[in-house]
A and B are shown apart, each in its own frame.
Chain A
Amino acid sequence: MDIIKTGNLKKSYMLGKVEVKALNGVDVSIQKGEFVAIMGPSGCGKSTFLNMVGMLDIPTSGEIYVEGNDVTGMSSNKRAEYRLRHIGFIFQFFNLFNELTAIENIMFPMMLNRMPNYRKNAQELLNLVGLGDRIHHLPSELSGGQQQRVTIARSLANSPKILLADEPTGNLDTKSSKEIIELFRKLNLERGQTIVMVTHSQEIGEKADRIIHFRDGIIEK
């Protein structure tokens, strides 16, 4: 079954008086449990696509189906609720809360979700990403790769249906990048986690089940 399906998805931005067509009719189907990489040149609409699927923003036209339900046209509160329950985000730049420790960063979305036992669950997620011994470290006390692993642990806090990662290795060295991809693979295999990952790197992209190529707001081939 398709966990994500988009139909003629379009998004344009106004830059002053100029209309920028970031997405120009995208039809994509992604299966539950798939690990998909999205690749393409800079500015071709990859992040925009991820933001649409993650309901950070609303499309100009077209449909997005999650598990068969059309999710476009939701109110801002409903979209927040949707993200809270079903989506995990990982961004290129480290996006942890600076004044919260590693474990608190993971507890926070759990608290937002009103989940019980959040401290114990957050600890387990930190163990899962291999940072069980760094729970009380502040982000500034962790390396880039470690921070990104905390971000991944945080993105799993709500047991999301879909994990969306926008160039998660973009700011990491080769070794850390490899570790992150291996972590994704592990999550995908062990938990059946659906992952949609944007990347620049062919080497990283090839680790996924499938690569979707974007160009100028549409899908190539």
Chain B
Amino acid sequence: MSEPSAPPISKRRSGQVMGGAFVSDPRCVVKGDKVIGVRCAHCRYPTSPPAPWCPACQHREQVEAEFGPGGTVWASTLVQIPVGRWAPPYAMAYIDLDDGPRVIAHLEAPAILAVGTRVNIVGGDDGDLIVRLA
């Protein structure tokens, strides 16, 4: 039996990045400079990651769709505490992708961007969506 290392940060389901067990990834899938998802065949509601039916109108037929690379900052903040694999300072924002869903993203540069700023998807970093000033 080996010596226990640093105490776990949490005893609950915190994911491997926090020293816990594997947790299936709930984040939207990033492919190149696009977010992959689905769009409702009836009301065009965009969803990522995909849902079992359209969350807005419950229509069952949804078609695969790509969103981005362009989007607009709903709001952004600079986080000054460590969270998971992220060390401070790091910036996060809600981005309304053009004709697409609102997604949470990391800003490439650790600085706050004004509401309404245009951004582009850079790509994914270990599954996290990264955007930068357009």
Q: Do A and B come from one complex?
A: no
